Amino acid sequence: MAFWLIKSDPEEYSWDDLNRDKFTVWDGVRNYQARNYLKSMKAGELVLFYHSRISQAIVGIAEVIRTAFPDLNADEPDWYSIEIAPLRSLKKLISLEHIKATDALSKLPLILQPRLSVMPISEDEFKLILELSN
DNA sequence: GCCAACGTTGGC
DNA sequence: GCCAACGTTGGC
């Protein structure tokens, strides 16, 4: 069981959009590292949903409902999509500022690799974020 | 809205 | 195969 974090610019596709849609195809990833993480996601694994730019906070928990399949919008082969569905919103948003100020979260790729849009997160980190959001 | 940082592309 | 130029991302 792995845990993940994905980023979305809420002006493009927000947590509210996902809740309205009930589920969505997560496509358009064009970064090899992010692609490899996408491919290793399994159904039922949990995904923190992070808003970049305007909001800059983890806002909810989603679930992988379909594992990697070819990204139909890609010009080239070997790009993949998954499907996710919203599970629940966090009671309290976990802001980037808060994450940066929390020692136990300072190793997150979110901080070390600011431009990576799909990343793994450890179980400890995941649990801590849930605690902080209560 | 700006722009630094990063990843990718393509000319050599 | 190097690296300058370019496009994109996302924090500020």
* Nearest nt to the A31 alpha carbon by C1': B7
pLDDT number for residue A59? 97
How many other C-beta atoms can be found within 10 angstroms of the C-beta atom of residue A53?
11
| Residue A43 lies in domain | 3-132
Whether residue A120 contacts residue A38, with contact meaning beta carbons closer than 8 Å, is answered with no
Q: Which pTM was predicted? A: 0.95
CATH of the domain at A107: 3.10.590.10
As given in the structure block, the two tokens for residue A7 are 């980023």
List the A105 CA – C5 C1' distance (angstroms): 36
Tally of domains within chain A:
1
Q: What pLDDT digit, counting tens, does each position of A13-35 carry? A: 999 999 999 999 999 999 999 99
